[in-house]
Structure 1
């Protein structure tokens, strides 16, 4: 299971957090700078990795029971 949080501006995705990588990846010039800044914040990365457990892993069983 992968948790992804994308960041958009004007309908263009400029950065994305991937729990598989454990960091942000930028797709535009601004996104690369923003990703570097966000990746330097260990607390933010830890919180986003914790979101994988909160939103994904806790709900896997719920989804499979409804199928």
Structure 2
């Protein structure tokens, strides 16, 4: 057993096809938006995880591992 908590929220959002959502970083936070094809997601995250000053969220990394098979 684990004491970890996880919530799943599923929402449907309709956006104009030419508009991407804009990040709203908190104070001291830097968010880089980069669109990557799913087939390249894992390799791209690995490249970022090896760069100084970059940190990849573990949940996103695990998702990319699952997608890459």
If the length of structure 1 is used for normalisation, what is the TM-score?
0.29
Larger Rg: 2
More strand by share: 1
